[in-house]
Amino acid sequence: MATATINKARAGTRAERIPSFAKNAKMGHPRSKNSTVQPGRFGVYGGRYVPETLMAVLEELEREYEKAKCDRKFQQRLDELLRTYAGRPTPLFLARRLTQKLGGAKIYLKREDLLHTGAHKINNCLGQALLVERMGKHRVIAETGAGQHGVATATVCALLGFECVVYMGTEDMRRQELNVFRMRLLGAEVRGVESGSRTLKDAINEAMRDWVTNVRTTHYLLGSVLGAHPYPTMVRDFHRVIGKEARAQILKAEGKLPAEIIACVGGGSNSIGIFYDFIKDKKVRLVGVEAGGRGEALGEHAARFRGGLPGVLQGTYSYVLQDSAGQIATTHSVSAGLDYPSIGPEHAALRDAGRAEYVPASDAEALEATTLLARTEGIIPALESAHAVAEVLKRAPKMKKSDVVIVNVSGRGDKDIGIMRENLEIE
Amino acid sequence: MPLFFHKKPALVVYVTCGDPDLGTTRDIVLAAIEAGADVIELGVPFSDPVADGPVIQRASERALKHGTSLAQVLTLAAEVRQQAQSTGLIIFTYLNPILRMGVKKFCLVARHAGVDGALVTDLPVEEAHEYLRAMRANDLAPVFLASPTSPDSRLKEIAAASKGFVYAVSRTGVTGARQQLANDAQKLVRRLRKVTKLPIAVGFGISTAEHFAEVGEFADAAVVGSAIVETIERNRGREAAAVAEFVNKLSAISSPPSARTG
């Protein structure tokens, strides 16, 4: 029978309760001595905060990715798929009527919306899918918010013959119905997630639970520059092509670098993709646009830099919208792809270093920008990308006519037609 | 021998604090101790419990509905400590509530509450430098998870960073009851024995007296979590009594310390 009894006469002290093994008293971990030089760190942000079961597979993924990066055949195959399957390079389009209407800076649009599957997400999906093939795995899982990453994942899985399971919050399934059907048509299984706010964050939780269970056979094709190392670095590298192309294209068209680059930031994959090759060009202002939602109170928006604090969510240390007890806050945005309480760790570092600035655009501003871009240029942007467009509407009129701005149109609006119809009063 | 593990196998009981409310959690914990639990893991509910299965997810949601916080769990720990001096108390949590409170402050408050150690689910040894320093400065035992997927080199690091005991995860996956125990657990314990003399507790999926006895064959302790939380969920109004019955059933299997060899 039990020997532990309540109010036992021989009251144990802490020293008695804890066995002391002197040889286990080693401090810390040698690699942790200077966290800023660890791989996967961006300043103090990033890292690898996951249950132990996932540590080995993350180490394996990091090794495989490092090998693939130096493998010319891998790179050639990826380049070829990006060109012949995804439709790269994407055009850099001069938006003449929008420029005229705003009367200031010359506005160029980077047309990621023209890619196969309708958004930049395919860049990363093709890259990771080729890695899955290298690692000899056959089952792929993913999370999706707006459904664009889910569709891109389902697409590459069909292309390479992998089993595909996509986790999606049921609230997002409702607002992105069309993408749910597209994924199923492509042969993927879409699993609805009922927990929490039933959006992107909850879909990631469920994907992580699947991964921790099926880690030996399954690759988690994470869709943004989030999560544990190596994801933020690897996903950024697969999207770097956006900025690389844009830099060459603008130099060719204008003979100079742009004054500003504007992109929306959910997790931050399209923005880091277009920013990255301009980071060294100190005169180019980098502007990330977060979801300002419908108000400034916690829960009404997804602007992490307007009320978030550094913390750990889903594997990485970055700015997180949270309450005073460290519980993660709910978020709101009209755009499912920006509706997430944390932000890629590299963005946190760029912001702290003052290299990039981050501003919010509200639901209403994004919807208004959608209509304006549709009517001036004949381009219906995704509601995510519309946040970037909303920011250029504020900035361009105040800039000189000789200035050049690039806006990343990360995706097209087809998937959002239902929401636009609900929210826009169009006769 | 560690006062932690009185019996063989010792019983580690996990509860999600604040489910259904903190007062009831205190009654449940004291009842579990009286019924023979050697160590109590006080689970801090978190909004995004990625390592937990549906049972603990539901309990966390219930506990968070009325705002259960890490600070409240530490107050609860102090109350339990006043009533039970010889039982190990471990704070079981995700990292973010600790970061929000501040790692140093957490350790200081935990120490004053009479807590013995902590297990942070999403904090692997690589990222634990500051935490380890603060834990040791306050004479608190950091307990780390070891997994069947951890290579031997990692097991060594985990054992070296751990104090009190090492928590061996019985299988890949989230917390939750299972019909059968995987033989992953036994293999992992064997590998851990080669790198540490610390006691080893096996957890994840242990829900029946049979599992408990089975784990006792090769490990020093077994952690029962989801099965306890489910008992609480199913016995509204008589949670403490129901947990006591369950714990009694498990404790009956263990040998008392006198029968222990080695």
Structural domain harbouring B37: 10-255
d(CA A349, CA B243): 48
Residues B47-85 have pLDDT tens digits of 999 999 999 999 999 999 999 999 999 999 999 999 999
- Identify which of B95, B147, B149 has the shortest CB distance to residue A312: B95
Judge whether B238 lies within some domain. Answer: yes
Cross-chain Cβ contact A49/B48 below 8 Å: no
Q: Other C-beta atoms within 10 Å of B137: how many? A: 12
From the candidates B38, B52, B220, B233, give the one annotated as an active-site residue.
B52
**Residue A427's pLDDT band (cuts 50, 70, 90):** low
ipTM of the complex: 0.95
- How many domains would you assign to chain B? 1
Alpha-carbon separation of residue A192 from A217, B50, B144 (angstroms)? 22, 16, 32
Cross-chain Cβ contact B36/A24 below 8 Å: no
Pair B115, B164: CB distance under 8 Å: no
Q: Among A157-166, A214-223, A281-290, B250-259, where is mean pLDDT lowest?
A: B250-259
- pLDDT score, position A101: 98
d(CA A306, CA A314): 20
Tell me what the mean pLDDT of segment A236-252 comes to.
98
**Taking the model in full, what pTM does it have?**
0.93
Euclidean distance between the first and final Cα of chain B, in Å? 9
- Identify which of A8, A17, A52 has the shortest CB distance to residue B150: A52
Mutate to test the interface with B, among A18, A193, A208 (most CBs of B within 10 A): A18
Angle between helices B239-251 and B22-34 (to 10 degrees): 30
Q: Does B71 touch chain A (CB under 8 A)?
A: yes
Judge whether B5 lies within some domain. Answer: no
CA B198 from centroid of its chain's CA atoms = 16
For B:87-116, CB contacts with A below 8 A are 87-88, 94-101, 114, 116
Give me the active site residues of A, please.
121, 143, 410
For the ranges B22-31, B207-216, B252-261, the maximum mean pLDDT occurs at: B22-31
Judge whether B262 lies within some domain. Answer: no
What is the SS3 assignment for A152? helix
Q: Which two tokens stand for residue B100?
A: 């929000």
Judge whether B76 lies within some domain. Answer: yes
Residues B94-142 have pLDDT tens digits of 999 999 999 999 999 999 999 999 999 999 999 999 999 999 999 999 9
- pLDDT score, position A12: 52
Q: Among residues B51, B21, B108, which one has the least CA distance to residue B226?
A: B51
Q: Which two tokens stand for residue A212?
A: 């921790």
Cross-chain Cβ contact B154/A309 below 8 Å: no
Residue A219 pLDDT exceeds 90: yes
Cα dihedral A73, A77, A82, A86, rounded to 10, equals -170
Judge whether B3 lies within some domain. Answer: no
Cross-chain Cβ contact A212/B172 below 8 Å: yes
Residues A131-140 have pLDDT tens digits of 999 999 999 9
Judge whether B167 lies within some domain. Answer: yes
CA atoms within 13 A of residue B95's CA, in its CB half-sphere: 25
Q: Beta strands A316-320 and B10-16: pairing type? A: unpaired
Nearest CA in chain A to B62: A196
Cross-chain Cβ contact A326/B197 below 8 Å: no
Cross-chain Cβ contact B132/A7 below 8 Å: no
Residues A373-422 have pLDDT tens digits of 999 999 999 999 999 999 999 999 999 999 999 999 999 999 999 999 99
Q: Which two tokens stand for residue B146?
A: 């070891």
E strand or H helix at A107? strand A106-111
d(CA A322, CA A307): 8
- pLDDT score, position A34: 41
d(CA A365, CA A213): 42
CA A313 to chain B, closest CA, distance in angstroms equals 7
Judge whether B31 lies within some domain. Answer: yes
Q: Other C-beta atoms within 10 Å of A259: how many? A: 18
How many helices (H) and strands (E) chain A has is answered by 15, 14
What CATH number does residue B189 fall under? 3.20.20.70
- Identify which of B57, B197, B251 has the shortest CB distance to residue A195: B57
Pair B152, B181: CB distance under 8 Å: no
Contacts of A61 (CB under 8 A, 6+ apart): A131, A135, A219, A230, A234
Judge whether B1 lies within some domain. Answer: no
Tell me phi and psi for residue A80, to 5 degrees.
Answer: -65, -45
